[in-house]
Amino acid sequence: MTARHDTLPHVVILGGGFGGLYAARSLRKAPVRVTVVDRQNHHLFQPLLYQVATATLSPGEIASPIRGLLGRDTTVLLAEVTGVDVPGKRVLLADGELSYDSLIIATGATHSYFGHDEWAKHALGLKTIDDALHIRRKVLLAFEMAERETDPVRRRELLTFVIIGAGPTGVEMAGSLGEISRHTLARDFHNIDPSQARILLLEGVQRVLPVYSEPLSEKARQALVKLGVEVRTNTRVTHIDETGVFIGEERIAARTVIWAAGVAASPVARSLGVELDRAGRVKVAPELTLPGRSDVFVIGDLAHFIQDGNPIPGVAPAAIQQGKHAARNLLSHLEGKPMKPFRYWDRGTYAVIGRGKAVGVAFQRFESSGFSAWLAWLAVHLLFLIGFRSKLAVLLDWAYAFLAFKRSARLITGPLPELVRPEKAGEPLTAPRETASPARDAVLG
């Protein structure tokens, strides 16, 4: 005779990213009640978010509703988590609370501006679909505004794009912007030459992609330079405002600044009452549990886990493996069996730089670059995309972009910028202002 559903142990999972989603999936057939809590109603494939920001993919191709992915056996709540009362076994929500018997925390990470949170309104981060659409709008509007600008200085500012941080996200963004300006938009305008856009990639250490070997980093740098990207290493930003970026006394005038320099763990970690690392991540036990607790697991970008002397990377495969392992250990704990320590199997990491170009390492040993690395990157990302429809749509868009140098999602959504009309009748309109008017929405192809 099976137990009543409401008497089964209640497992709460915070976060519908890779870790939380795969933990929930692993518990679907288990004798537990599962509740997933997320402030968004969708699971997002973050590794391809930059392709939404640069108009290759549409949001629906890299995101799926969490309810649809988990089915009716799992309860899904749309709510904002503000903290966890570990002794009281309660999840604190912005509009209430939720009790649990076992808890898996996978709330991920957010942007870190290294103590300069005031920079956030001028340097756009890339963590959510809203972020990606904001960047896409900003980038495409810059070319539209430059087309109407008569002042060469202001036009130059509009066509200057600065990316801060040369990790995988920054490198991929810079390479994609290089392709947009040199290929996708090259023949679309009459008054400007998009290929003359200035794209700067700034990095505080001595080379791009510092997690890779020096030869791979150098190949990545060379590929970026071929796309017209100006790479500046050992360069530290000292100030960011609406006019651009400052490096000491040097000012780089730019109307579009993208932040890819750092991340910080979700603030939920601070409510747990345990030791955190410098990025605010929880120093978890080998079993992925909160130190001193066997009923609370922390996984994904929120977990600081050391393996062979090094922290495991904050990538999707690591979160997926942790989600599955946490689910297994949770069930072992409920059955009174010993839990097993986690071991990450690194299949490989890749960074794409442009059309047919990438660098990467497979199984921590085999380095590759160029077209072969790009094919491996493509295969890995298609493998982890959820749903046949998503895989097919992304594959078709990639094929279109590769063969035709086109991007199918070049839409500017949102209110039109306010146009500055001259006092004298008959004069041409000058460039749009930065302030937006809610009068109507624009959809520009």
Q: Residue 28 belongs to a domain with what CATH number?
A: 3.50.50.60
d(CA 150, CA 117) in angstroms, rounded, equals: 34
- Can you give the pLDDT at residue 385? 65
Interacting residues of 280 by C-beta distance below 8 A, sequence separation 6+: 264, 265, 266, 267, 269, 270
Domain identity same for 84 and 149? no
Assigned domain for 207 exists: yes
Domain identity same for 248 and 122? yes
Assigned domain for 428 exists: no
Domain identity same for 88 and 142? no
Assigned domain for 315 exists: yes
Q: Report the b/e string of 107-138 with b at 16+ CB within 10 A.
A: bbbebbbeeeeebeebbbbbbbbebbbbbbbb
Domain identity same for 139 and 209? yes
Assigned domain for 86 exists: yes
Q: How many domains does the chain have?
A: 2
CATH code, domain with 156: 3.50.50.100
Assigned domain for 15 exists: yes
Assigned domain for 385 exists: no
Domain identity same for 190 and 235? yes
Last residue in a domain, options 306, 334, 362: 334
Interacting residues of 309 by C-beta distance below 8 A, sequence separation 6+: none
Domain identity same for 127 and 249? yes
Interacting residues of 243 by C-beta distance below 8 A, sequence separation 6+: 157, 251, 253
- Can you give the pLDDT at residue 271? 95
Which amino acid is present at 284?
V
Last residue in a domain, options 334, 350, 381: 334
Domain identity same for 221 and 157? yes
Choose the catalytic residue: 144, 172, 179, 203.
Answer: 172
Spatial strand order of the sheet with 239-241 comes to 239-241, 244-247, 250-253
Total Cβ atoms within 10 A of residue 309? 5
Domain identity same for 129 and 211? yes
Domain ranges, residue 233: 117-261
Active site (annotated) includes residue 172: yes
Domain identity same for 172 and 104? no
- Can you give the pLDDT at residue 443? 30
Spatial strand order of the sheet with 366-369 comes to 348-354, 357-362, 366-369
Assigned domain for 422 exists: no
- Can you give the pLDDT at residue 347? 82
Domain identity same for 195 and 222? yes
Query: What does each of the 445 residues of the chain score in pLDDT, given as a tens digit?
Result: 345 567 899 999 999 999 999 999 999 999 999 999 999 999 998 888 998 998 888 888 888 899 998 988 899 999 999 999 999 999 999 999 999 999 999 999 888 898 899 999 999 999 999 999 999 999 999 999 999 999 999 999 999 999 999 999 999 999 999 999 988 888 889 999 999 999 999 999 999 999 899 999 999 999 999 999 999 999 999 999 999 999 989 999 999 999 999 888 899 999 999 999 988 999 999 999 999 999 999 999 999 999 988 899 888 889 999 999 999 999 999 999 999 999 999 888 888 898 788 999 987 788 999 989 888 887 777 766 665 455 566 666 656 565 555 555 677 877 666 544 334 333 444 444 444 433 333 333 3
Assigned domain for 52 exists: no
- Can you give the pLDDT at residue 183? 85
- Can you give the pLDDT at residue 341? 97
Domain identity same for 255 and 280? no
- Can you give the pLDDT at residue 410? 74
d(CA 258, CA 132) in angstroms, rounded, equals: 11
Last residue in a domain, options 236, 261, 286: 261
